[in-house]
């Protein structure tokens, strides 16, 4: 079965040409090192302690409980941007209620799946990637620092609504807007806002 995995290369066996991938959320899996991808796998391995993650596409073997047990082949591997959105969202999947010193709701798996899918479908490649954080209410807050503007998008994973807010720390100007993230037009709107803010500082 074709798989797309995000994880850290924590082990390399050069004699056997195999590597171990620690998924951002999930098990550890082993796989073969194709010669053409050797350098990239070593780069990811060397960056393990710095938090470097890789995107691996290939075919996987599953056990009798339908769990991924091994990578059968690796077709493609690349180093992930540190702000890769699916990888950031995967970081939240192991959270439990009470994560914030006894308070705090955990983001739902379905909500994280939805948000990852929306970013994949609707977020342009030419717009700065956000820093993502969990909120005590069980949502996700995306943040950008663009010049003198602090921008945030507070996403409710249940309603799919989001509060878009920016504050200019030099002028105290600010703006806010409620968005419907099931509407691609709203994605286009805030992507255009981010693009405009990013262009001003270049």
Partner 1 sequence: MNYAARLYRQVHPGWVREGRITSQVFHPTPKDRGFLSVYDGDQITAAESWQHYTEVLGLMSAGVVAVTPAECSQHQIGVVPDPRDLFPEHTLLDFTGLTGNQVRRAARHLGRAANNRGWLFGPVNV
Tell me the closest approach of the beta carbon of residue 153 to partner 1, in angstroms: 12
36 phi, psi to nearest 5 deg: -70, -15
Residue 92: other Cβ atoms inside 10 A: 23
Q: Which residues bind partner 1 (CB under 8 A)?
A: 82-83, 88, 95, 99-101, 103, 131-136, 141, 143, 145, 150, 152, 165, 167, 169, 172, 174
Q: Of the two residues 3 and 84, which places its CB atom closer to partner 1 in the complex?
A: 84
Q: 56 and 74 in contact (C-beta within 8 Å)?
A: yes
Tell me the closest approach of the beta carbon of residue 116 to partner 1, in angstroms: 16
Q: Of the two residues 43 and 168, which places its CB atom closer to partner 1 in the complex?
A: 168
180 phi, psi to nearest 5 deg: -110, 105
Tell me the closest approach of the beta carbon of residue 179 to partner 1, in angstroms: 17
Q: Which long-range contacts (CB under 8 A, 24 or more apart) does 97-102 make?
A: 99/134, 100/136
Tell me the closest approach of the beta carbon of residue 69 to partner 1, in angstroms: 28
Q: Of the two residues 40 and 141, which places its CB atom closer to partner 1 in the complex?
A: 141
Residue 22: other Cβ atoms inside 10 A: 15
Q: Of the two residues 95 and 191, which places its CB atom closer to partner 1 in the complex?
A: 95
65 phi, psi to nearest 5 deg: -105, 20
Q: Of the two residues 58 and 139, which places its CB atom closer to partner 1 in the complex?
A: 139
Tell me the closest approach of the beta carbon of residue 30 to partner 1, in angstroms: 24
Q: 58 and 31 in contact (C-beta within 8 Å)?
A: yes
- Rounded Cα distance, 83 and 189, in Å: 21
């Amino acid at each position: 079965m074709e798989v797309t995995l995000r994880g850290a290369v924590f082990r390399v066996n050069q004699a056997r040409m195999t590597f171990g991938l620690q998924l951002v959320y999930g098990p550890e899996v082993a796989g073969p090192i194709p010669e053409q991808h050797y350098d990239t796998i070593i780069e990811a391995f060397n960056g393990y302690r710095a938090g470097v993650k890789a995107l691996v596409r290939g075919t996987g073997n599953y056990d009798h409980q339908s769990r991924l047990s091994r990578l059968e082949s690796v077709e493609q591997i690349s180093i992930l941007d540190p702000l890769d959105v699916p990888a950031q969202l995967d970081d939240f999947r192991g959270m439990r209620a009470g994560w914030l010193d006894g308070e705090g709701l955990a983001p739902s798996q379905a909500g994280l799946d939805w948000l990852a899918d929306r970013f994949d479908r609707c977020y342009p490649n030419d717009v700065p990637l956000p820093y993502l954080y969990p909120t005590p209410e069980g949502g996700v807050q995306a943040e950008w620092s663009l010049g003198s503007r602090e921008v945030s998008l507070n996403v409710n994973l249940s309603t799919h609504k989001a509060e878009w807010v920016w504050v200019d720390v030099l002028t105290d100007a600010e703006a806010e807007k409620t968005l419907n993230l099931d509407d691609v037009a709203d994605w286009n709107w805030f992507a255009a806002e981010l693009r405009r803010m990013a262009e001003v500082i270049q």
